[in-house]
Structure 1
Amino acid sequence: MFDFSRNITILFDHSKWDYSQLTDPNGFQWKVGITPFSNIQIVIGSWIMYFVVIIRLKIYMKNQRNPFTLRLVVATHNLFLCILSAIMFGYSVIDLFNRWLERGIGECFCTSDESSLKGRLFYITYIYYLSKFIELIDTVILVLKKKEIIFLHWYHHSIVILMVWSWLQDANMYASMGMIANTFIHIFMYYYYFVAVLGRSVWFKVNIFIYIYIVTVFIYSIYSILYIKNSKLSRSHVNN
């Protein structure tokens, strides 16, 4: 007979999770199966749950005559993510800048020193990873308010979890800049949503920051490719 509870436990095995990593920024080191929520099954499971919940909610709301206002819930959600984004952005900038000063700009892109692939910068990336699960609530709110959800919204919220998981799994140093750019935009984006739900206006246009983000990521991506390519060429010349 199929033991549902036992198989779910195996699928989401958390028996070896080291919860002390949640409160130890300086000693943090990503280890799949050891770091809480690091199992790839968690990512896949979150996708399944995300799509099932959203589809079921959409069916329910189709028969619901009036959308929910959720003013307090939405305001709290957006304010929390705004503050969290600001904290992640601030610490990431400080730690990446210190890494640059101590090890050189090359260490902001890649490193061969495995002993440096731990600590607060990677802990912040881990918190950033966890925040992507919280951001799934964005979609729930939209559905409950009977707002249209485009495919890009679904795709972005689901795939970004796997993307950040891969950053941690592969210890990608250059991903830190992506996190910095994204959290910077999210500070203003979630602040805008927070203020908007309170019925107030803001002094800036969110679209401007989105454009800045896109341009910044594009420039950084090109620079990263050229830097890594140049580094490989330099190493090949040295070896020859």
Structure 2
Amino acid sequence: MLGLDTFEIYRGNSTKTQHSLYEYEYSLPFEKIQDTLGWTLYFQENWHHSVTISIVYYVLIRAIQKVMQNRQPFQLQTPLFLWNGALAIFSIVGLVRFSEDFLVNLYHNGLTYSLCHSCNPESVAAFWSLAFAISKIVELGDTLFIVLRKKPLIFLHYYHHAAVLVYTVHSGAEHTAPGQAFITMNYLAHSFMYTYYAMAALGKKFPRWVSMFVTTVQTTQMFLGVAVTCYVYYLKQYTKYKCQQSMGNLYLAFTIYITFAILFVRFFIDAYIKKNKLKEAEKAKKQ
């Protein structure tokens, strides 16, 4: 499938990855992957099921929307707070524990090394990378709260969830090195996003600039993703520097990050610029 099934690591006689040598102390009792080889092969053999899950997810969401058409919306403030609060805590802890590997290498070895060497498969970062991949399935539950509360469901929402799941699982299957930058950025963005959603679920009213800030962080993440992908493409095509990322995965990264960037910019314009102009027009009419 477009070269996406051509995995080189842990296949045949190839048992090594181009990864960071940095290791740091295990602070939590569960932060070690006991079977790195087994998990990697499992992802390689089953990554395409992330597409299956995404299709089932979309069909179920549409079916629930159909069921909810003639029903009153559910009031789910407490479950919504607990859901977003749990994901906020996970994202914050994940950011702190995962990013050390990437940031230390960035400081000591530079950008190129950091983007071309995956995290050490025996390190704490490897666990939080696996946890990140699993969380992309869990986060599909975000959409359930939207449809049960009969809130508007935009294309960006479900496309983003499905595409991130597919790309994350495939990246885990080949230990994609730029994934360290992508995961760090996503943990950071979700730390802000889920904290904001958790507080909003309690009825907390924020100034307009707060929601704009959260959307700006998400949009910036997408443009940085495009920049990272372009840089790795340059390294792979025009230099002799080797990067732990296949061309198939690289093209997949291009596709999702460019489309994400376009959709998030469009969302920002619709949600903040156009709405603001509409409000100003309404005020002018009243005067």
Shorter-chain TM-score above 0.5: yes
5+ long unaligned stretches in structure 2: 1-28, 242-287
Residue 48 to residue 105, structure 1, CA distance change in 2 (3 Å):
closer
CA-to-aligned-CA distance 1:140-185 (integer Å, 9 cap, x gap): 1111001121122121111110010121112111121111112211
Distance 1:38 1:108, change over 3 A: farther
In structure 2, relative to structure 1, the CA distance for the partners of 1:48 and 1:217 (3 Å cut) is closer
When structure 1 is superposed on structure 2, of 41-50 and 165-174 the one drifting more is 41-50
Q: 1:212 to 1:47 in 2, by over 3 A?
A: closer
2:211 corresponding residue in structure 1: 206
Give the alignment partner of residue 67 of structure 1, picking from 70, 73, 84.
73
Q: Could you tell me which residue of structure 2 aligns to residue 138 of structure 1?
A: 142
CA RMSD of aligned residues (A): 3.0
Q: Which residue number corresponds to residue 51 of structure 2?
A: 44
CA separation of 1:38/1:70 partners in 2, compared to 1, >3 Å: closer, same or farther? farther
CA distance in 1 between counterparts of 2:221 and 2:47 reads 30
For residues 72-122 of structure 1, what are the alpha-carbon distances to aligned partners after superposition, in whole Å with 9 as ceiling and x for unaligned? 1111100001101101111122121233456554331113xx894443222
Q: Is the 8 A contact 2:119 2:125 kept in 1?
A: no
**Equivalent of 2:165, from 138, 144, 161?**
161
Q: TM-score, normalised by structure 1?
A: 0.74
| Residue 100 of structure 2 corresponds to residue 94 of structure 1 | yes
> Distance between the aligned counterparts of 1:70 and 1:38, measured in 2?
38
Structure 1 residue runs of 5 or longer lacking an equivalent are: 1-21
Judge conservation of contact 1:28–1:118 (CA < 8 Å) in 2: no
Distance 1:182 1:69 in 2: 29
Show the counterpart of 1:110.
Answer: 116
TM-score relative to the length of structure 2: 0.63
Aligned residue pairs total 210
**Distance change in 2, residues 1:94/1:200 (3 Å):** same
In the TM superposition, residue 23 of structure 1 has moved relative to its aligned partner by 3.8
Question: What letter corresponds to residue 97 of structure 2 in structure 1?
Answer: Y
Task: Provide the C-alpha distance between the structure 2 equivalents of 1:122 and 1:180, rounded to a whole number of angstroms.
Answer: 13
- Pair 46,71 (structure 1): closer, same or farther in 2 beyond 3 Å: same
> What is the 5 A alignment of 1:1-240?
23-25=30-32, 29=36, 30-33=39-42, 39-40=46-47, 42-64=49-71, 66-100=72-106, 104-111=110-117, 116-202=120-206, 205-219=210-224, 221-222=226-227, 225-226=230-231, 229-230=234-235, 233-235=238-240
1:82–1:188 Cα contact (<8 Å) kept: yes
Identity of paired residues, percent? 22
Kindly provide the CA deviation profile for residues 51-91 of structure 1, in whole angstroms up to 9, marking residues without a partner as x. 23212211211121x10001111111000011011011111
Bigger mean CA offset, 224-233 vs 163-172: 224-233
Aligned partner letter, 2:40: K
What is the match of residue 268 of structure 2? none
Q: CA deviation at 1:137?
A: 0.9
Compared with structure 1, are the counterparts of its residues 24 and 200 closer, same or farther at alpha carbon in structure 2 (3 Å cutoff)? closer
The answer to whether the 8 Å contact 2:185/2:221 transfers is yes
CA contact (8 A) 1:81 1:190 kept: yes
Residue 13 (structure 1) aligns with: none
